[in-house]
Amino acid sequence: MKSSSRMALCGMMGALSVTCLLLTVFPFATYALPALASMFLFPVVIECGRRWGLLTYAATAVLAVLLAPDLEAKVLYAAFFGYYPILKSVAEPCGKAGEWALKLGAFNLSVIGAYFVLTRLGLSLQEFALGNLPLGAVLVGFLLVGNVVFVLYDIALTRALSLYFARFQPLLRRLFR
């Protein structure tokens, strides 16, 4: 792929990612849209390589931090979902045990780090309190449920990538020769 084609693909996919993050103005989209925005970076990583994927992630993360309305969504994108396509491409050749250790380790560290940053920016973890349950137990429960949802997300991404390779990659390669 020519350099100008790479630049065009990165710009288009980055713009789609940022557009998804701009839609976080709707409160129900705080977690779903950063995950969806990361899917647009997969074609960049596959067609242009990890370096271009990293550059596109950096650009979209900066734009998300500056433009996206939802603080939690932009921190989650910058802390994990934005670079997940690159991480997935690195982790998958490591074998099943290594792959999942790397993916789950990165997910847990990123989520804990993101919420640490969010508490410093004014988010109160008391918002997560459920009745008389201790806040620590609720947060651990949320993290466990988050891990299950993340595994389902990864499986869905793998299936979506199969669709990409079968249907969209030939079209994209013809378009960006």
Selection from 72, 157, 67, 153 nearest residue 111 by Cα: 72
* Range 102-128 average pLDDT: 84
Per-residue exposure over 42-72, b if at least 16 CB sit within 10 Å of its own CB, e if not: bbbbbbbebebbbbbbebbbebbeeebebbb
Per-domain boundaries in the chain: 3-175
What mean pLDDT, rounded, does the chain reach? 89
Q: What is the tens place of the pLDDT at every residue in 124-133?
A: 767 666 677 7
Q: What pLDDT does residue 72 have?
A: 86
Between CA 5 and CA 177, with CA 37 as vertex, the angle to 5 degrees is 15
Task: Determine whether domain 3-175 maps to CATH 1.10.3210.
Answer: no
* Range 129-152 average pLDDT: 84
**Total-model pTM:** 0.86
